[in-house]
Amino acid sequence: MSKRENESTAKELKEKLFMQKKNAYIRMSDSEIKKCDKFCEGYKKFLDEAKTEREAAAVIEREAKSAGFVKFDKKKKYKAGDKVYLVNREKAVILAVIGSEPVDRGVNLLAAHIDSPRLDMKQNPLIEKEEVGYFKSHYYGGIKKYQWTTVPMSLHGVIVKADGTKITVKIGEDENDPVFCVSDLLPHLASAQMKRPATEIIKGEELNIIVGTRPFKDDEISESVKLNLLSILNKKYGITEADFLSAELEAVPAFKARDIGFDRSLVGAYGQDDRVCAYTELMAILEAKNPKKTAVAILTDKEETGSDGNTGLQSSYLKYFIADLAAVFGVKTRDVLANSKCLSADVNAAYDPTFSDVFEKNNSCVLNGGVCVTKYTGSRGKSGTSDASAEFVGEIRAVLDKNNVIWQTGELGKVDIGGGGTVAKYIANLDVDTIDVGVPVISMHAPYEITAKTDIYAAYKAFEAFIDS
C-alpha cells in the first residue's frame, strides 16, 4: 500500500469510526437555516411576552386555544386526534393530543418549566430609607446575586385584594413605562465590599429595588416618600399597603430578546432557562397531527426552587391528569405510566471557552452542536439523578437519527465541580422512562442568557420527532 492510499484509508476509517461533531450551521442547508432563523423570530416574541410563569401559562393557553385545543373534561369521551389542555392555578399547563393507539400502551411526554430565576417581592415589601423608597426582595432560584444589580427591571404579577378582586401588574415592558433597579456601590468606595466573597458581594438583604424618591408634599409627617408611593399605587390600582400581603410580584430584567453577534447566530434574553424548551415543546405539540401515541406536553412551574408545591412536578398534578386520562379510556393509570416515555426538556450548560476549566470538553455540549441529550444529571457521584438506561438512550438516539435531528451529548461540567438537576427524576419516579433533552445555554441563570439559533431549532425538531415516534 502506498503512503497516499494509506492516508485515504485513514480518512475513510476516521469518517466511519469517529463521532460526527461538525457545527450545525455547516450541516444545515440554506433553506433549513432560513426556517431556523424564522422560527427563532417567533421564539423571541414569546420571550418578550411571557417573562413569568403566569404570563407564560396565559400565552400557552391562548396559543393552544387558537390551535384547536379545548379544556380537558374528565367526564367526556375522547378519540384520536382530539386536543385538550389543563391549566393548573394559572402557573402550569398540560397539553395533550390523543393518539390512535390505546393510552395504556403509554404516552409520549415532554416536560419543560416556565419559571425562571428572578427577584420576588417580600410580603411586606415597601420601605423608606432616608427618603428613598424600596421594595424588599427575596430572590427566587439559584442566582449570582451580584449580577442582579444595576439592571433595569420590570415588575410583573398579581395583587389580590381582601374582597377577592385580582389586579394584574406589568410595569416596565412598554417603552414609556418606568423601570426599577437595584443599586450597587461605586468602585471608588468598594474596596471593603470587593474583599467580601463573591457570594456576599451583594447580600440577599441588599437586593433592594429602588421604586421612588419624591416625598408627599407635606413636611410634617415621617415616611413621606413611602406615603407618596402608596398614594400613586392607590390611584393606579386602588390598593393599600396591606394588599401586598396577598400579592405575588416578581421583578425580572426589562430588556427584550435580541440577536447577538455580527452573524446574528445567537439569541440573548432573560429567562431562556427554560422557556427555550417550553417554546420549542409548545410549537411541537401545537403542530402535532394524528400521533400514534398520545402526546402530552407539560409546562410546569417551580423547577428553579426544587419542584415543590402544588404547581411543581413533585406534586401530584401530572399523575392525576394521567389518572383522569386513563379513566376516560377505562385503563389503569400505572399501565399508562409504566409504558410511557418522557423527554425532560431542560437546558444544559454550554461549553464556554472563556471559562473552559470547569468543563470536560469531550462530555460537554457546545453552542451550535445541536440539541443536547443528557443521560444523567445530579452532582458528585450522580447524587439526585435520574439515569436513563442504555436501552432508552438507544431508543431516543434512533428516533433522532432517523429524523435527521442534529444532536449532541453533554453533562453539566466536570465531575467534582458541581452539577444540577431537572424535573427528570420526578417523572422517572412515576415509573416512566425519562431522559434529559434540551438546549445548551451560556451564562445560565444570569439576567441575560445566551443560546444558539441552530440548537433551538434542533430542539424543536427533536420534540417533533419524539411526538411522531
Q: Which residues bind Mn ion (CB under 5 A)?
A: 273-274, 346
3-state secondary structure of 126: strand
Closest CA to 424 of 439, 413, 435: 435
Return d(Cα 324, Cα 319) in angstroms, integer: 9
For 447, the grid coordinates are 439576567
Closer Cβ to Mn ion, 104 or 273, answer by number: 273
Q: Closest separation between CB of residue 235 and Mn ion, Å?
A: 38
Cβ of residue 360: shortest distance to Mn ion, in angstroms?
21
Closest distance to Mn ion from the beta carbon of 275 (Å): 9
Question: Least CB distance from residue 271 to Mn ion, whole Å?
Answer: 10
Phi/psi class of residue 462: alpha, beta or left (left: φ > 0; alpha: ψ in -120 to 50)?
A: alpha
Residue 114: CB partners within 8 Å, gap ≥ 6?
A: 50, 53, 56, 57, 60, 91, 92, 93, 274, 275, 278, 299, 300, 301
Comparison of 274 and 455: residue with beta carbon closer to Mn ion: 274
Residues 6+ apart with CB under 8 A from 73: 84
Considering the complex, what minimum distance in angstroms separates the CB of residue 277 from Mn ion? 8
Q: How far is the CB of 302 from Mn ion (least distance, A)?
A: 11
The C-alpha cell that represents 153 in the structure block: 427591571
Distance, in Å, from the CA atom of 339 to the CA atom of 106, rounded to the nearest integer, reads: 4
Query: Smallest gap, in angstroms, from Cβ of residue 355 to Mn ion?
Result: 18
Q: How far apart are CA 227 and CA 356, in angstroms?
A: 51
Choose between 208 and 385: whose C-beta lies nearer to Mn ion. 385
- The residue (of 333 and 422) whose beta carbon lies closer to Mn ion is 422
Q: How many CB atoms lie within 10 A of CB 423?
A: 27
Contact 224, 216 (CB under 8 A): yes
Residue 143 vs 337, nearer CB to Mn ion: 143
Using the minimum distance from each CB to Mn ion, give the nearer residue, 233 or 424: 424
Residues 6+ apart with CB under 8 A from 331: 102, 103, 104
Provide the minimum distance between the beta carbon of 157 and Mn ion in the complex, in angstroms, as a whole number.
20
If the CB atoms of residues 54 and 226 are measured against Mn ion, the closer one turns out to be 54
Least separation in angstroms between residue 91's CB and Mn ion is 16
Q: Give the span between the Cα atoms of 336 and 105, in whole angstroms.
A: 6
Kind of pairing, strands 107-113 and 92-97? unpaired
The distance of closest approach from Cβ of residue 298 to Mn ion in the complex, given in angstroms and rounded to an integer, is 13
**Residue 156 vs 445, nearer CB to Mn ion:** 445
Q: Which residue type sits at 85?
A: Y
* Nearer residue to Mn ion within complex by CB, 224 or 314: 314
Cβ atoms within 10 Å of 130's Cβ, excluding its own: 6
Let me know: does 413 contact 419? Beta carbons within 8 Å.
Answer: yes
- Return the CA Rg of the chain: 24
Q: How far is the CB of 116 from Mn ion (least distance, A)?
A: 7
The backbone torsions φ and ψ at residue 85, rounded to the nearest 5 degrees and listed phi first, read: -145, 160
The SS3 of residue 276 is helix
Query: What residues have CB less than 8 Å from 6, skipping those under 6 apart?
Result: none
Cβ proximity to Mn ion: between 243 and 281 the closer is: 281
- DSSP-assigned beta bridge partners for residue 118: 140
Q: In terms of CB distance, is 346 or 464 closer to Mn ion? A: 346
Which residue in the shown chain puts its C-beta closest to Mn ion?
274
Distance CA 279, CA 462 (A): 13
Q: Which is nearer to Mn ion, 81 or 309 (CB)?
A: 309
Residue type, 34: K
CB of 155 to Mn ion, least distance (A): 22
